[in-house]
Amino acid sequence: MKWHVAFLTACTLLLSNGCEEKIKPSVLGGVSGTALPSQESWNTTVTFTDSGIVKAILKAGHISAFEASKQTMLDSGVHVDFFDEHGVHSSVLTSRTGKVDESTNNLEAIGNVVVVSDSGVVVETEKLFWDNRRQLIHSDEFVKITSPKENLQGHGFESDQSLKNYRIFKVTGSAKQQ
């Protein structure tokens, strides 16, 4: 009978010890566990939809998601296809890197940012933001806009994602008369 008591005591100790929450040190010396991504993926495609309609398709060579900050870092090339309210393709954005705010799905594109609309308008800048809720792109940086009608440049820019209705602030450039 005594071996049953010893066995039950050993099982109880093992189970209670296994249920303890322990803080495990990082395998990497000097690196906090919160500095590491909670998820990573390579050559990934993410689709953004609203009520079943595709709004954007994002592709990146490397994606690192950080749960604590609700930020997703994109690198190794970023490519985003934008679609209008009917799900029809409207433009393409490319950049070196980017960042997505997981709480809003807003995108910050960084480095050699180029947006090309299906109508032929091209926007070039070093940093550009996509506001998911308003479906607008904007930048406070120097921008260059090239279209069949005009070549503009300046600091500050705002547009719908299809580049049909855009505003450029502090403008310099030229427009062709028709």
Is 60 exceeded by the pLDDT of residue 6? no
Which has more pLDDT, 2 or 128? 128
Tally of structural domains, the chain: 1
Residue 175's pLDDT band, with cuts at 50, 70 and 90, is: low
Q: Contacts from 27-35 at CB under 8 Å and sequence distance 24+?
A: 34/68
Domain membership of residue 46 as a residue range: 38-175
Between CA 47 and CA 114 the distance in angstroms is 20
What's the rounded mean pLDDT across residues 80-102? 93
Whether 166 is in a domain gets the answer: yes
Q: Computed from CA positions of residues 45, 46, 50, 55, in that sequence, does the dihedral angle turn out positive or negative?
A: negative
Whether 4 is in a domain gets the answer: no
Is 60 exceeded by the pLDDT of residue 136? yes
What's the rounded mean pLDDT across residues 53-78? 93
Whether 19 is in a domain gets the answer: no
Whether 122 is in a domain gets the answer: yes
- The CATH code of the domain that includes 156 is 2.60.450.10
H helix or E strand, kind and range, residue 112 = strand 106-117
Is 90 exceeded by the pLDDT of residue 41? yes
Whether 21 is in a domain gets the answer: no
Whether 15 is in a domain gets the answer: no
Is 70 exceeded by the pLDDT of residue 69? yes
Between CA 102 and CA 108 the distance in angstroms is 12
The predicted pLDDT at position 146 comes to 92
Which two structure tokens, joined as six digits, stand for 157? 């820019």
Which has more pLDDT, 15 or 25? 25
Whether 23 is in a domain gets the answer: no
Whether 148 is in a domain gets the answer: yes
